[in-house]
Amino acid sequence: MMKKSTPLLHKFLLISVFLSFITEAKQVTDQLNRQVTIPDKVERVVILQHQTLNLVVQLNRQDTIVGVLSSWQKLLGKNYIRLAPNLANMPIPGDITSVNIESLIALKPQVVFVANYAPKEMIEQIEKLNIPVIAISLRKDVASQADKINPVMIDEETTYNEGLKEGISLIGEVLNAQNEAKNLIDYTFQQRQLVTNRLKIINSEQRIRVYMANPDLTTYGSGKYTGLMMQKAGAINVAAKTIQGFKQVSIENVMQWDPQVIFVQNRYPEVVDQILTDPLWEHIDAVKNKRIYLMPEYAKAWGYPMPEALAIGELWMAKKLYPQLFKDINMQQQADDYYQRFYRTNYQEL
């Protein structure tokens, strides 16, 4: 919680007000549709959302990061450090839904990135210090859903496609990485078309029933990018008609859905062993036919879209579901191409 009065806070407020008069500024619109005035040249940012952190690394602007959310390693995976080594000793002045004001002040950020569902009070705490706050959702929502973690969408594909483009462009504008942002957007959506073209011959009756297994029987229903990812890869998300957003289900639900394929995100490898050793799962189609797949790092089924999930993750998933349609595709080459372009390294499956 922010203290009412400290010498450090008073000093920082005075400096911030003074600098606001002498620094050139520009205005941007964040994904809560808020008009935010930021310095024309931003060189110090704090990022309290893992999706934005991942995108800043891909835009090659990690040198601007002076503080990150405390849960970044849990959310991005323990091996993410190899893609951004400077995160190893990075200060952690808060997390997705909280901020330590004294720690934040000490970092002297010019901008703080937060999630669209960050508490209003948290955003106001930061703004009272005259620090611009940029909210990122990677969705293009109607106004009433913009601050929701589990929004209601009329058109999921448009909401996520346009929202991802808008979010990347916004981050690029804040960090003066407009060209990098355009390259990332263009490559992502051009690559995605390969899957769409090949799956045209798969009609709705032929689509494979898929379940996304997370810890504690949590999964993604409607209103999450993961469901759209499955759809784009030619699958039917078995949970889509039952739940909205990210929720816990029962083993009885899964038995009733009887998925033909089960996917598990690479950050939860223990879930694969849990399914294979629990007798309650043994009669489910995917288990009987040994079609349980641990997803590679780039297939980020986060519920929020990431460029690599669209560009190569959906391709990986489609190849697992319909191998004959994609037998000429070498996923290592696809992943290497993406990682060289945007992470400046080859892809290594760890």
Q: Are residues 146 and 222 in the same domain?
A: no
DSSP state of 41: S
Domain extent at residue 97: 7-176
The residue ranges of the chain whose pLDDT is under 50 are 1-5, 17-18, 20-22
Tell me how crowded residue 305 is: count the other CB atoms within 10 A of its CB: 28
Residue 21 pLDDT: 40
Q: Are residues 306 and 223 in the same domain?
A: yes
Phi-psi region of 94 (alpha: psi -120 to 50; beta: other; left: phi over 0): left
- Identify whether 190 is part of a domain: no
Structural domains counted in the chain? 2
- Identify whether 193 is part of a domain: no
Residue 2 pLDDT: 43
Q: What is the pLDDT of residues 186-222, one digit of tens each?
A: 999 999 999 999 999 999 889 999 999 999 999 999 8
Instruction: Please identify, among 159, 176, 193, the residue that sits at the C-terminal boundary of a domain.
Output: 176
- Identify whether 305 is part of a domain: yes
Q: H or E stretch including 115?
A: strand 111-115
Q: Are residues 205 and 172 in the same domain?
A: no
Residue 348 pLDDT: 86
Q: Are residues 172 and 214 in the same domain?
A: no
Look up the CATH number of the domain holding residue 17.
3.40.50.1980
Answer for the pair 49, 61: CB distance below 8 angstroms, yes or no: no
Residue 269 pLDDT: 92
Q: Are residues 234 and 152 in the same domain?
A: no
The span from the CA of 208 to the CA of 262, in Å, is 10
- Identify whether 92 is part of a domain: yes
Residue 22 pLDDT: 45
Q: Are residues 172 and 205 in the same domain?
A: no
Instruction: Please identify, among 106, 141, 176, the residue that sits at the C-terminal boundary of a domain.
Output: 176
Q: Which residues of 14-48 are buried (b: 16+ CB within 10 A; e: fewer)?
A: eeeeeeeeeeeeeebebbbeeebebbeebeebbbb
